[in-house]
A and B are shown apart, each in its own frame.
Chain A
Amino acid sequence: MALRESFVSPERPQPEETPRRRLIFRIEQPFGRGFSVGDVVVLIGIAVLIYAGMRLALQAPETVAGPTISLSPRVLPYYALRSVGRMAAAYLLSLAFTLVYGRLAAYNRRAEQVLMPLLDVLQSVPILSFLPVVLLSLSAILPERAAAELASIVLIFTSQAWNMTFAWYQSLTTIPVELREASAIFRFNGWLRFKVLELPFAAISLLWNSMMSWAGGWFFLMAAEIFTVGQRDFRLPGLGAYLQEAANQGDTRAILWGIGTLVLVIVALDQLVWRPLLAWADRFKLETVEGENPPTSWFYDLLRSAHILERLSQGVWRPLSERVDAWFIRRAAAAEARVEKSGRPYLLYLLALLLGLGLAYGAVRAALMLATVPAHQWGEIGLGVLATLLRVSVSLLIALAWTIPVGVAIGTNPRAATYLQPVVQVVASVPATALFPVFLLLIIGLPGGLNIAAVVLMLTGTQWYLLFNVIAGASAIPQDLKYTSALIGLSRWERWRTLILPGLFPYIITGAITASGGAWNASIVAEHVEFGGRTLFTPGIGALIARATGTGDYPLLLAATLTMVLAVVLINRTLWRRLYRLAEERFRME
């Protein structure tokens, strides 16, 4: 490996390989490697960040009064608007981050070596475990409301940004060489290259990943809107808080109103924003032949037939973009005329040095703080991780048990797929965290209620990824193989063993990686709840983190959060990575 990497000299154009297949519905796993020094540095960096947050959190107010949540259906449009606003703010932030970070990583080799491993660890970290730290530290420096708003946006951002950044980075690095050369030989400036080459090339992948990010974002938004521990009520006026308040008061009518509004908002966004965008973005396909099933959207067709788009494009968009282009061309020409200054890297080295020193200092302080955690608490943390792991595994197994047969049934039957797929999509689009208070209301009376509720929450958060992937996998099994296995008279079991399960394997693994990530995240809100004035918890790492937040036990919070991050990263690297590689190499149908 080392040889291959060192071979590529900067002046060498990228080897002309067939463009890699652009995979869309999956977490990107660009580095087929185990643990490395880079990971350790990144993990230390995360530890230092959490520690810094913790230091800030020491000044966090003892009690945080939450907003009064009205249960009148009339406030729902307003609440929905607030929730969507948070999502949009976080999404724009993610998009800006994506464009800058991905471009840096794609075009600067030195930056790439730092940025990509960093991104790789960040995307496998259970983000919700940061929620308490982010909330506490922000509430120490900002007014409570602003802190909660900002925390929710930061949290959603951290759930949205990584996969989009990977998609953008991967697109940038797989732009066909000849298109790159064409834009160089025709002297495109940076702006024109971005507009004519990079953005269109990445558009479809970026769009699909935006949709995924947006869907994932709901999960975290709801979690952020309903977060309460002890005397600290961090709730935000929005759909999530509405649902929780409704469940708290046992108001079934309000629950139905809330869920209805949530579904409506999600479906409306899908139909009025994402589908039209997808239909529009079909033009950015690199394929040189006409596609068979281009995505369609009634809303897009409507806009087009009303000539609104055309008028906008003629009257507003074109003159505007012409101006912008002209400005950039003048600027590029002016820049060419100026003598180029050679940039001095000293400042960069100094910055890196300072960063390194800061990191080292923070690491030492964090270690000192960790040292104050008594042994019995470490034991508790260990047990907590195991308990949560058990819950995650159980929910994954249950999900597998039902999604494989159902997914195969839907995937191998095109007619069922056409009318079941939209239904499944709508059901899946409801974020599990929003339904959690409702589940609690139903289950809490049963023995081991919260334990069951936690598993159910994890399940609702995870099963859809699996189901979608199984459906995709089942419909990707080649028809001729199905015929062949029928012709040679394989028994049902034989058919599953030799054809269906091997064919599904890569899809199941891809789904399971995403699903287990979701399940770990869910544990934070699932294992410790304030419900109807009572505090309920079930042993687990999530409960520990929540308890430490409530009581202000910062060393414990640091230790528990770090342990959880470490555990999940370890599991990803050792188990999932390996399975994923196996799936890629052995079980791909091509």
Chain B
Amino acid sequence: MSTNGYLLEVRHVQQIYRSGSRQFVALQDVNLAVKDGEFLCLLGPSGCGKSTLLRIITGLQQPTEGVVLYRGQPLRGVNPHATIVFQTFALFPWLTVIENVEVALKARGVPPKLRTARAMDLLDRVGLDGFEIAYPRELSGGMRQKVGFARAMAVEPELLCLDEPFSALDVLSAEALRGELLELWTEGKIPTRAILMVTHNIEEAVFMADRIVVMEKDPGRVVAEMTVDLPHPRQRRSPEFLERVDEVYGLLAGQTEPEYVELGVAPGEPGRIRALPPITINDLAGLLEHVAEMPDHRHDLYRLAEELRVDSDHLLRLTEVAELLGFATIGKGDIVLTPLGETFAEASILARKEIFATRIRRLPMFRWLLSLLNVAEGRRLKWDIVLRALELEFPPDEAEQQLETVVNWGRYAEVIAYDDATETIFLEEMGRG
């Protein structure tokens, strides 16, 4: 039955959304295989399509192209051997803890007595005995996710899929739950054949997985793969561990490229448009100030994430912007400030605005918007009109986010202004430059 010992194979999967003549590639030619007995991590920034891939793998969603093979057979509909533990728990708030677990068994036709016994047993195992008749709203996030795990394991899946299961939890609960899951898994206490976890947390991936598949966005694709052959339980402070983490940071943060590659093209031009990461300038300034205090204005990305207490996803968005604006360069998992970045970090608020304004004027997205505004009547444009134009380039949700980012940055730089009452964007008449 099984081919080459693979439990699951993903072959040439593409996910494409079309809008008129434009198309958006959410997943580009993804190939992937999960071995029997493997813990695999899909790691990547938000928007790289890893959650979409998980939904395709479990059969919740049909790919535009390509096939998913489960034990060598093409998957049709929802995979009956897989379950998901959801990021937001996805518990039914009107069912008690035990009912939430039982309902999964009931759907598979397990008779009442057996059902209750099995649910009790699982709740015991995840340490929720005594909370059987509590409602989810009475529980903490960590306990809710335990219910999520108990429910997923109750149906004894061969393939256990985890969709960022720890990212909505506080640090301590997340850590505890990770350990408990690993214990169940490594000691063979659950009949699960393989685990597939989606995450954007680099450290988490290195801590748990046997193999990491690194994904990138624009378009969503697999860019690298690495094996983590450290024995469990893994030591976070050990040099081997840190080396692996640094390696992944290097893969994900990439390398600063020549400016014309980094900037991309303006909307409407042929070529790749650089989507602006949705961050606030305050966060960017905080990052730059912090790095500026380091020797040589250089810092390790992994340590930076820890010191600033931001998750790796957020940090990578910030470094991407720093790179894009020429405030820093990235290489080998390190960030180094450019002289301009140092100047920005040390400047007064007004001077920062000046610097920021000159930098964002170089971005194709701003060049495009400013030239539109310059020819517009009264140098103002309705929000909806600009949005409509951006929707030719981005999926609608993304277009909205892009426009919000552009307007936020433009307001900070006092280059453009926005009037909420009339919903119009206009050129700042003070005209700095």
Contacts and interface: CB of A to CB of B under 8 A. Distances in A.
Contacts of A197: 92
A283 B136 CA distance: 11
A188 interface: yes
Contacts of B58: 185
Interface in A282-326: 283-290, 322, 325-326
Nearest to B78: A184
A379 B319 CA distance: 74
Given A4-B396, A200-B94, A283-B135, A186 B88 contact: no
B107 A187 contact: yes
Given A7-B17, A185-B83, A13 B55 contact: yes
Contacts of B109: 326, 329-330, 333
Contact of B90 (A181, A188, A283, A329): A181
Nearest to A330: B109
Interface string A188-225: 11001000110010000000000000000000000000
A9 B18 contact: yes
A178 B19 contact: no
A390 interface: no
Contacts of B78: 184-185, 187
A20 interface: no
Contacts of B95: 196
A549 B109 CA distance: 59
Nearest to A9: B17
A289 B94 contact: no
Interface string B102-119: 011011110010000000
Given A179-B92, A288-B136, A11 B82 contact: no
A182 interface: yes
Contacts of A284: 93-94
Nearest to B58: A185
Given A178-B90, A283-B135, A586-B421, A186 B104 contact: yes
A191 to B, nearest CB: 10
Contact of A11 (B62, B84, B90): B62
Contacts of B55: 13, 181
B394 to A, nearest CB: 11
B61 interface: yes
Contact of B397 (A15, A176, A196): A15
A329 B108 CA distance: 8
Interface in A1-49: 3-4, 6-7, 9, 11-13, 15, 17
Interface string B372-408: 0000000000000000100110011100000000000
Contacts of B107: 186-189, 192, 329
Interface in B54-106: 55, 58, 60-62, 64, 78, 80, 82-84, 86-90, 92-95, 103-104, 106
Nearest to A16: B397
Contact of A187 (B18, B80, B392): B80
B215 interface: no
B87 A186 contact: no
A285 B92 CA distance: 10
Contacts of B19: 3, 6-7
B308 to A, nearest CB: 26
A196 B137 contact: no
A181 B89 CA distance: 11
A325 B99 CA distance: 14
A285 B93 contact: yes
B112 A186 contact: no
B107 to A, nearest CB: 5
A483 B31 CA distance: 62
The bracket for how many chain B residues form the interface is: 35 or more
Given A15-B397, A187-B78, A196-B92, A178 B86 contact: yes
Main secondary structure of the interface of A (DSSP, over half): helix
Contacts of B421: 586
B335 interface: no
Contacts of A187: 78, 80, 107-108
Contacts of A329: 106-107, 109
Contacts of A289: 137
B103 A186 contact: yes
B20 interface: yes
A178 B155 CA distance: 18
Interface in B11-41: 17-20
A179 B391 CA distance: 29
Most chain B beta-carbon contacts within 10 A, residue among A192, A283, A287, A288: A288
A14 B40 CA distance: 27
Contacts of A182: 84, 86, 90, 92
Interface residues of A, number: 40
A589 B58 CA distance: 42
Nearest to B138: A290
Contacts of A322: 112
Interface in B111-149: 112, 135-138
A3 B62 contact: no
Contacts of A6: 19-20
Contacts of B137: 287-290
Contacts of B18: 7, 9
A3, A6, A200, A290 interface centre (most CB from chain B within 10 Å): A3
A175 to B, nearest CB: 11
Given A178-B90, A184-B60, A200-B94, A3 B155 contact: no
Interface string B134-175: 011110000000000001000100000000000000000000
The CB with the most chain A CB atoms within 10 A, among B84, B92, B392, B395, is that of B92
B112 A181 contact: no
Contacts of A326: 109
Given A283-B135, A285-B93, A196 B103 contact: yes
Contact of B388 (A3, A11, A181, A196): A3
A289 B55 CA distance: 29
B82 A3 contact: no
A587 to B, nearest CB: 11
Interface in A317-365: 322, 325-326, 329-330, 333
A406 B49 CA distance: 55
Contacts of A586: 421
Contact of B396 (A7, A9, A181, A286): A7
A283 B94 contact: yes
Interface string A154-191: 00000000000000000000001011011011111100
B389 to A, nearest CB: 11
Contacts of B395: 7
A376 B195 CA distance: 81
A188 B136 CA distance: 20
Contact of A3 (B20, B60, B86, B138): B20
B268 to A, nearest CB: 15
B70 to A, nearest CB: 14
Residue of B107, B112, B136, B137 most packed against chain A (CB within 10 A): B107
Interface of A: 3-4, 6-7, 9, 11-13, 15, 17, 176, 178-179, 181-182, 184-189, 192, 196-197, 200, 283-290, 322, 325-326, 329-330, 333, 586
Interface of B: 17-20, 55, 58, 60-62, 64, 78, 80, 82-84, 86-90, 92-95, 103-104, 106-109, 112, 135-138, 151, 155, 388, 391-392, 395-397, 421
30 contacts: A3-B19, A3-B20, A3-B388, A3-B391, A3-B396, A6-B20, A7-B396, A9-B17, A11-B62, A12-B17, A176-B90, A178-B86, A178-B88, A179-B92, A181-B84, A181-B86, A184-B78, A185-B58, A185-B60, A185-B82, A186-B155, A187-B78, A188-B107, A200-B92, A284-B93, A287-B137, A288-B137, A290-B137, A322-B112, A329-B106
List the 5 closest pairs (A to B, CB-CB), nearest first.
Answer: A182-B90, A178-B90, A7-B19, A186-B104, A200-B94
Given A3-B392, A7-B19, A185-B82, 14 more contacts: A3-B396, A4-B391, A7-B17, A7-B395, A13-B61, A15-B396, A182-B86, A186-B103, A187-B80, A196-B92, A196-B95, A284-B94, A287-B137, A288-B136
